Amino acid sequence: MQKTKSTYRTIQTQSEGLFKEKGSKFIGYAVACYSEEEAKQFLESWKKQNHQARHVCYAYRFGVNQDIYRANDDGEPNNSAGIPILGQIQSFDLSNVLIGVVRYFGGTKLGVGGLIQAYKTAAKEAIESGEIIEKEVFEWVKLHFDYSDMPSTMSFIKQFNLFIKTQNFEINCELIISLPLEKKEILKKELLNLQSMELSIVGIY
């Protein structure tokens, strides 16, 4: 069984790169991303920003062990766009990252070799213009509990310095929080001692 790594490399905040060739313009975007659903939202926003562009090609890699990945050519010739973008993710040893490259066609065909170089370079420029950071891996859990357990839950989170990613307070309370890997089983057991507490695992990243 593969051991889960304790850290991974990703992009700090969204960054952009630009490559021009024979009138065509290639705009690269690199961003930290943790799921296919999240990737779809980023891609949609890039398409809206660049609604006159011909193609929005992309690649992503998720998971602490870098085992979930995809490359998409979005209408370009097979393996001329998505695979070169994915190659840059691998080259920089990144995970939990999405890179999209938007192409504005300049009227001159570049050929498969020219496209491979252009998409690779735009992806590389996007990565290099951002900040690569090393992040600690956590298990993220969703807590669902009654208001009566709110003081105990918040005290617990403060005591162990846990990060709250999202919170929703309506009829009941819902939080997504981070648990350090080496303490996650003990912390989950403690949380489940609270009377109304329900807990589900969101993921490890």
pLDDT one-digit tens code per residue, 72-121: 999 999 999 999 999 999 999 999 999 999 999 988 999 999 999 999 99
pTM: 0.82
What's the average model confidence in pLDDT over 162-171? 93
Is 169 domain-assigned?
A: yes
pLDDT of residue 54: 85
Do 111 and 149 share a domain, yes or no? no
Do 82 and 35 share a domain, yes or no? yes
Quickly state the pLDDT bin for 143 (edges 50, 70, 90).
very high
Average pLDDT, the chain: 94
Residue in the structure block whose two tokens are 């648990």: 179
Is 198 domain-assigned?
A: yes
Do 125 and 163 share a domain, yes or no? no
**178 close to 165: Cβ distance less than 8 angstroms:** yes
pLDDT of residue 2: 54
pLDDT of residue 3: 62
CA distance 152 to 158: 10
Question: Where is the domain boundary, 109, 135, 161?
Answer: 135
Express as a percent the part of the chain with pLDDT over 90.
87
Residue numbers of the domain that contains 98: 7-135
- The token pair at 12 is 């700090």
pLDDT of residue 4: 65
Q: How many CB atoms lie within 10 A of CB 79?
A: 13
pLDDT of residue 68: 92
Q: Across the chain, how many H-helices and E-strands are there?
A: 5, 11
- CA distances to 135, 185, 200 from 192, in Å: 27, 11, 11
Do 110 and 152 share a domain, yes or no? no
Is 2 domain-assigned?
A: no
Is 1 domain-assigned?
A: no
- CA distances to 59, 151, 168 from 172, in Å: 38, 14, 8
Question: Where is the domain boundary, 95, 112, 135?
Answer: 135
**119 close to 84: Cβ distance less than 8 angstroms:** yes
Contacts of 8 (CB under 8 A, 6+ apart): 64, 66, 95, 96, 134, 135, 137, 205
Asked if pLDDT for residue 193 goes beyond 80, the answer is yes
> 140, 149, 61: which is closest to 99 by C-alpha?
61
Structurally, the chain folds into a number of domains equal to 2
Task: Write out pLDDT tens, residues 40-52.
Answer: 999 999 999 999 9
Do 47 and 14 share a domain, yes or no? yes
